[in-house]
Amino acid sequence: MTEEIIIAGFGGQGVLSMGKILAYSGIMQDMEVSWMPSYGPEMRGGTANVTVILSEEKINSPVLQEFDSAIILNQQSMDKFEESVKPGGVLLYDPNGISKHPTRTDINIYKIEAVKEAYDIGNTKAFNMIVLGAFLKIKPLVKMENVLKGLKKSLPERHHHLIPMNESAIKVGLEKVETV
Amino acid sequence: MEEVRLMKGNEAIAEAAIRAGVDGYFGYPITPQSEIIEYLMLEQPHLRTGMQVLQAESEVAAINMVYGAAGCGKKAMTSSSSPGISLKLEGISYIAASELPCLIVNVQRGGPGLGTIQPSQADYFQAVKGGGHGDYRLLVLAPASVQEMADFVDLSFELAFKYRTPVMILSDGVIGQMMEKVVLPPQKERLSNEELIKKYGSWATTGKPASRERNIITSLELKSERQEAHNHKLQAKYKEISENEVRFEKLNCDDAEYLIVAYGSSARISQKAMQIGREKGIKVGVLRPITLWPFPSDEINKLADQVKGILTVEMSAGQMVEDVRLAVNGKIKVEYFGRYGGMIPSPNEVIEALEQKLIGG
């Protein structure tokens, strides 16, 4: 099993940290992982994306042009990455701020109203964990216990009191994801 | 069980430096390797091992701090990215001439000039053909994973002290910025002057005992006869290194009809290309040089008797391809494929290039 994932959105949305938590969850499940960010002059409000690979085998290229799954969180990323999903692959997106919705018919498209749900639970910072929960519902690559272990590893200890809040946000995502 | 951590390549180098018992890191920030000095500053290794970390006023100052510390027999290192390494070259030549051990890390970015901050491998010539002035060589290691970023720090110092010569880790923005699993090496103690002398001899400026003459660290010798003799000594050392320290990895080479030669992140991309090629029925293998100098010329020459053609894949306009052609010496076709200026080749592009340049052509 190898899963090649692109997570793309605005800087500040928690794209890179979502990828890191996913990668750490993979480690907790004894998988091989790689996390390759687009780095550059990007900043808060600019675009940010990260390629995460989870695999039972040794990972060769950390840089990819096509993906099994794309998690897309803004229009620029939709324009850039809709075409890079492999036929039969998964595209998950938050319709918030999306004016041109995905049109491909050879892939499986899902949506999660993560901005809205985060607002509803009164914690806009949990946005990325809602998206992660939605993705894990579609692709249960890692067990929830390992996600929680991954969270614990990724967060500095002074933030460990936030883990229950993140856990409940992941559960919101698991419940609210919809097929398009 | 060993602790597995998820780290960036740059962070792995920094943590491995503390664990290798390094005495001093001197650097100046530049993307894409600033995490090295950031990690060291945050980690405060002076509290853990006594290791000193200093942000110098410039790259030139940093390399000369390394020169001074190395002259005292200390394990000293610096890191930078391409334009910063250019600034350090004068100092590197002096360190090589003075036969001092040290580690220089280059996390390459696209050039020439200030260029871009995206990954590149266009400093190959600079690293393996000298870079600075005079007849010197750097022993150059090319990591292809975060694990190797960590492992090569201690290896570099072992080699640097064994041969009393500067060692370079030639990495790039992909390996520096990516995170992977890494098992960190155990903590080594920093060496005292007594332990250093016992292990490596008393060449450093550790204080003059009554039992020997003073040690002088210099790269200046105005008598040409003596300067030539010093060069002979250096060349003998480089010959010994090239006979003993060649390192490489071979993948799927046993039945290969075509060979890709690639190092660092290009080797990772080429492995994926190899997988795609094998699925298409192309018998392709990958040879990954781990030492770029000394270069695995003999192994490539041997493989040239077996395969029909070789493709080098590098993020430069074609630099390592010259060394592969020298190794093959005209026996078979050697072609090059690469992207540069901060662009990264895709596995599909690599296998298409191999098909066009070697199979179709």
Written in H, E and C, the secondary structure of chain B is CCCEEEEEHHHHHHHHHHHCCCCEEEECCCCCCHHHHHHHHHHCHHHHCCCEEEECCCHHHHHHHHHHHHHCCCCEEEEECHHHHHHHHHHHHHHHHCCCCEEEEEEEECCCCCCCCCECCCCHHHHHCCCCCCCCCCEEECCCCHHHHHHHHHHHHHHHHHHCCEEEEEEEHHHHHCEEEEECCCCCCCCCHHHHHHHHCCCCCCCCCCCCCCCCCCCCCCCHHHHHHHHHHHHHHHHHHHHHCCCEEEECCCCCCEEEECCHHHHHHHHHHHHHHHHCCCCEEEEEECEEECCCHHHHHHHCCCCCEEEEECCCCCCHHHHHHHHHCCCCEEEEECCCCCCCCCHHHHHHHHHHHHHHC
Query: What number is the ipTM of this complex?
Result: 0.94
Q: What is the CATH number of the domain that holds A53?
A: 3.40.920.10
Residue B195 lies in a domain: no
Q: What percent of chain A has pLDDT over 70?
A: 97
For B152-194, what is each residue's pLDDT tens digit? Answer: 999 999 999 999 999 999 999 999 999 999 999 999 999 999 9
Q: In what order do the strands lie in the sheet with B309-313?
A: B248-251, B284-289, B258-261, B309-313, B333-337
Residue B194 lies in a domain: no
Of A20, A36, A60, the CB nearest to B272: A60
The residue range of the domain holding B34 is 4-183
Alpha carbon A35 to its chain centroid, in Å, reads 12
Residues of A in contact with B271 (CB under 8 A): 60-61
Q: Is the same domain home to B167 and B253? A: no
B2: pLDDT strictly greater than 80: no
Cis peptide, bond prior to residue B112, ω within 30 of zero: yes
A44: pLDDT strictly greater than 80: no
pLDDT of residue A42: 61
* Three-state secondary structure call for residue A76: helix
Contacts of residue B105, defined as CB under 8 A and 6 or more positions apart, other chains included, come to B13, B33, B36, B77, B78, B79, B80, B168, B169, B171
Q: What percent of chain B has pLDDT over 70?
A: 99
Residue B355 lies in a domain: yes
- Whether residue B339 lies within 8 A of chain A, CB to CB, comes out as no
For B244-294, what is each residue's pLDDT tens digit? Answer: 999 999 999 999 999 999 999 999 999 999 999 999 999 999 999 999 999
Of A24, A32, A40, the CB nearest to B118: A40
CB atoms within 10 A of CB B139: 22
Residues of B in contact with A64 (CB under 8 A): 272, 346-347
B269 within 8 A of B345, measured Cβ to Cβ: yes
Mutate to test the interface with B, among A21, A31, A39, A151 (most CBs of B within 10 A): A39
Euclidean distance between CA atoms B329 and A121, whole angstroms: 69
Alpha carbon B84 to its chain centroid, in Å, reads 15
pLDDT bucket at B1, cuts 50 / 70 / 90? low
Tokens of A180: 């398009």
Radius of gyration over alpha carbons of chain A, in Å?
15
pLDDT bucket at B361, cuts 50 / 70 / 90? low
Position B294, amino acid: P
- Whether residue B117 lies within 8 A of chain A, CB to CB, comes out as yes
β partners of residue B52: B24
For B10-61, what is each residue's pLDDT tens digit? Answer: 999 999 999 999 999 999 999 999 999 999 999 999 999 999 999 999 999 9
Residue with tokens 């030539």: B228
Partner-chain contact B269 A32, CB within 8 Å: no
Q: At which of B183, B211, B236 does a domain end?
A: B183
Mutate to test the interface with A, among B1, B3, B6 (most CBs of A within 10 A): B6
Residue B211 lies in a domain: no
Residue B235 lies in a domain: no
Partner-chain contact A60 B4, CB within 8 Å: no
Alpha carbon A63 to its chain centroid, in Å, reads 17
- Whether residue A57 lies within 8 A of chain B, CB to CB, comes out as no
Task: Calculate the average pLDDT of chain B.
Answer: 97
Helix axes B9-19, B34-43, angle to 10 degrees: 50
Domain count, chain A: 1
How large is the average pLDDT for residues B342-361?
Answer: 94
Q: What is the CATH number of the domain that holds B322?
A: 3.40.50.920
Partner-chain contact A64 B346, CB within 8 Å: yes
B17 within 8 A of B52, measured Cβ to Cβ: no
pLDDT bucket at B3, cuts 50 / 70 / 90? confident
Q: Is the same domain home to B281 and B149? A: no
β partners of residue B333: B309
Residue B188 lies in a domain: no
Cis peptide, bond prior to residue B294, ω within 30 of zero: yes
The residue range of the domain holding A116 is 2-179
Domain count, chain B: 2
Q: What is the CATH number of the domain that holds B122?
A: 3.40.50.970
Partner-chain contact A62 B177, CB within 8 Å: no
Partner-chain contact B346 A63, CB within 8 Å: yes
Partner-chain contact B178 A34, CB within 8 Å: yes
Euclidean distance between CA atoms B298 and B292, whole angstroms: 13
Q: Tell me, what DSSP letter sits at residue A44?
A: B
- Whether residue A37 lies within 8 A of chain B, CB to CB, comes out as yes
Closest to B353 in 3D by CA, of B249, B269, B252: B269
pLDDT bucket at A41, cuts 50 / 70 / 90? low
Euclidean distance between CA atoms B361 and B359, whole angstroms: 6
For B298-335, what is each residue's pLDDT tens digit? Answer: 999 999 999 999 999 999 999 999 999 999 999 999 99
Position B199, amino acid: K
pLDDT of residue A79: 96
